[in-house]
């Protein structure tokens, strides 16, 4: 596939290979591996694109967005196939991702036309003062492989709706979905240069991507290690940074909870997308009196899960994104077992021929887990759920908050007081009562606290704060 630079579809001298995680034997596609000169060209083009786009009316921006959404829906079958092929999501999960990406453009099409500014009082007689939001300039968006279409859409829609130009750097494992999105925007009439897509290994083109003085803001979703190094490398420059990083999300099940509903939520949030979601439930804290009942139901549900990305069964779990990711997940399980955890389900790879060449790990449940274990504290990013008994609400909340991360947490209970206390006391950016830690709509502000995030939320109207700056204007018209 070619990539988009300056309104042209371009190739390169060298290529990045894309593999299907359900069968990694041969590459399924290739995309250009761009170099430093191409990155500089992307910024040259973005400069021209920004000059035009910032003056394009919100009505025209909205028209481009509605057409983009329409094209994404019209092309859904092909884009879904690309997401399944490069990421390993199931058909159902990938299909949902395409629809939600279209939703982002429809939602921000409306917002692009909303709110012009605010008129405020001025103590000076005969003076009218207002403030309004304006675009910040060229935004660098760096995205991971786990939602290869959705994460670019979540960033591009508010960034472009606000009048910025964007240079997008998608993950090297999954560049095809981002290129489909770029093609939809291009075909919908987005002017040349407003969006450039830089495919290529992030580690190799980091300096030209980040050091260019024309970058006004960097929005990054990915690992804590990369995110923190980007944050510190930008800290002495006046460049805005938004980081959406890892999570270690807990679901708490109190004794009065609807246990089957809690099990359904833990299975959906723990094993959906093969656990490769920043909001995945990876820790479950169960009140001791219902621990055995809950764990029994959970193990029954996990035993019913199938494997395979092209299965149409809603209970199917796809492969991990790559052999490297599979090795990392298996290492986490092995370490947990060495430290004393018990494998209650899964714990390894499937042995049948049908899954022999894919990056599969069996849906895994671990018990006898202590708070000191790495599997309790570190993000695994795979189909691994650990279960622990707790003595009551206070201990549960204390354990939920005993984490460097603060992205998502859920509580299952019928007690209104416990529910409200949890919403107040859970030190996380996304809190759910009697539902999953995952699954936030495009208009719900989204982002974590502490090591999971930054001061700026994504999604909804909140996202516009990151992509705009505020100008205050005073008009003196005389007494």
Which residues are identified as catalytic? 278
Q: Which residue, 45 or 244, is less far from ligand NAP as judged by CB? A: 244
Judged by CB under 6 A, does residue 156 bind ligand NAP? no
Q: Which residue, 291 or 405, is less far from ligand NAP as judged by CB? A: 405
Quote the least distance from Cβ 389 to ligand NAP, whole Å.
27
Q: Which residue, 86 or 244, is less far from ligand NAP as judged by CB? A: 244
Q: Stretches 80-88, 102-110, 186-194, 195-203: which one binds ligand NAP (CB under 6 A)?
A: 195-203
Figure out which of the listed residues 3, 22, 146, 282 binds ligand NAP, where binding follows CB under 6 A: 146
Judged by CB under 6 A, does residue 144 bind ligand NAP? yes
**Considering only residues 224-263, where is the footprint of ligand NAP by CB under 6 A?**
226, 244-247
Figure out which of the listed residues 87, 90, 143, 322 binds ligand NAP, where binding follows CB under 6 A: 143
Q: Stretches 61-69, 144-152, 263-271, 416-424: which one binds ligand NAP (CB under 6 A)?
A: 144-152
Q: Which of 137, 177, 180 is nearest to 159 (CA)?
A: 137
Q: Which residue, 413 or 452, is less far from ligand NAP as judged by CB? A: 452
- Calculate the CA 270 to chain-centre distance: 16
Figure out which of the listed residues 40, 99, 129, 206 binds ligand NAP, where binding follows CB under 6 A: 206
Judged by CB under 6 A, does residue 29 bind ligand NAP? no
Judged by CB under 6 A, does residue 223 bind ligand NAP? yes
Q: Which residue, 228 or 394, is less far from ligand NAP as judged by CB? A: 228
Q: Which residue, 30 or 75, is less far from ligand NAP as judged by CB? A: 30
Judged by CB under 6 A, does residue 177 bind ligand NAP? no
Binding pattern for the stretch 373-392 against ligand NAP, x by CB under 6 A and - elsewhere: ------x-x-----------
**Considering only residues 67-106, where is the footprint of ligand NAP by CB under 6 A?**
none
Q: Which residue, 22 or 276, is less far from ligand NAP as judged by CB? A: 276
For the CA atoms of 101, 106, 109, 111, the dihedral, rounded to the nearest 10 degrees, stands at -100
**Considering only residues 400-459, where is the footprint of ligand NAP by CB under 6 A?**
407, 448, 452
Quote the least distance from Cβ 85 to ligand NAP, whole Å.
17
**Considering only residues 452-471, where is the footprint of ligand NAP by CB under 6 A?**
452
Quote the least distance from Cβ 452 to ligand NAP, whole Å.
6
Asked if 5 and 38 touch (Cβ cutoff 8 Å), the reply is yes
Angle at 154 (CA atoms; ends 74, 133), nearest 5 degrees? 120
Residues at the contact surface with ligand NAP, assessed by CB under 6 A: 142-146, 169-172, 201-203, 206, 209, 221-223, 226, 244-247, 278, 379, 381, 407, 448, 452
């Amino acid at each position: 596939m070619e990539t988009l630079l300056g309104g042209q579809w371009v190739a390169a001298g060298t290529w990045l290979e894309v593999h299907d995680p359900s069968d990694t034997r041969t590459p399924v596609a290739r995309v250009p591996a761009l170099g430093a000169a191409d990155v500089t060209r992307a910024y040259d083009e973005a400069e021209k694109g920004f000059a035009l786009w910032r003056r394009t009316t919100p009505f025209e921006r909205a028209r481009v967005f509605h057409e983009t959404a329409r094209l994404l829906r019209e092309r859904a079958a092909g884009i879904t196939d690309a997401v399944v092929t490069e990421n390993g999501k199931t058909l159902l999960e990938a299909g949902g991702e395409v629809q939600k990406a279209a939703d982002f453009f429809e939602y921000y099409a409306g917002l692009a036309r909303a709110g012009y500014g605010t008129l405020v009082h001025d103590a000076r007689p005969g003076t009218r003062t207002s403030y309004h939001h304006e675009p910040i300039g060229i935004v660098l968006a760096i995205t991971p492989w786990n939602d290869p279409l959705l994460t670019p859409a979540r960033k591009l829609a508010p960034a472009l709706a606000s009048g910025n130009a964007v240079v997008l750097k998608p993950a090297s494992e999954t560049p095809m979905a981002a290129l489909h999105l770029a093609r939809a925007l291009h075909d919908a009439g987005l002017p040349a240069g407003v969006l450039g897509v830089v495919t290529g290994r992030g580690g190799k083109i980091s300096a030209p991507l980040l050091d260019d003085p024309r970058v006004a803001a960097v929005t990054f979703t990915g690992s804590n290690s990369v995110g923190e190094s980007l944050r510190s490398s930008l800290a002495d420059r006046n460049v805005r940074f938004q980081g959406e990083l890892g999570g270690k999300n807990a679901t708490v099940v109190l004794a009065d909870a609807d246990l089957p509903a809690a099990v359904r939520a833990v299975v959906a949030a723990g094993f959906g997308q093969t656990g490769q979601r920043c909001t995945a439930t990876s820790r479950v804290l169960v009140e001791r009196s219902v621990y055995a009942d809950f764990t029994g139901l959970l193990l029954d549900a996990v035993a019913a899960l199938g494997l395979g990305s092209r299965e149409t069964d809603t209970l199917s779990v796809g492969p991990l994104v790559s052999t490297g990711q599979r090795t990392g997940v298996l290492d986490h399980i092995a370490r947990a077992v060495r430290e004393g955890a018990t494998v209650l389900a899964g714990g390894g790879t499937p042995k049948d021929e049908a899954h022999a060449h894919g990056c599969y790990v069996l849906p895994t449940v671990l018990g006898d887990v202590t708070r000191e274990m790495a599997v309790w504290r570190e993000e695994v990013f795979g189909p691994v759920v650990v279960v622990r008994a707790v003595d009551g609400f206070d201990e549960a909340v204390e354990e939920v908050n005993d984490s460097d991360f603060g992205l998502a947490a859920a509580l299952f209970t019928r007690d209104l007081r416990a529910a409200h206390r949890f919403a107040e006391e859970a030190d996380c950016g996304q809190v759910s009562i009697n539902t999953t830690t995952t699954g936030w709509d495009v208009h719900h502000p989204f982002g974590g606290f502490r090591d999971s995030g930054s001061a700026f939320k994504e999604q909804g109207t909140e996202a516009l704060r990151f992509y705009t700056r505020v100008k205050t204007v005073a008009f003196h018209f005389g007494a």
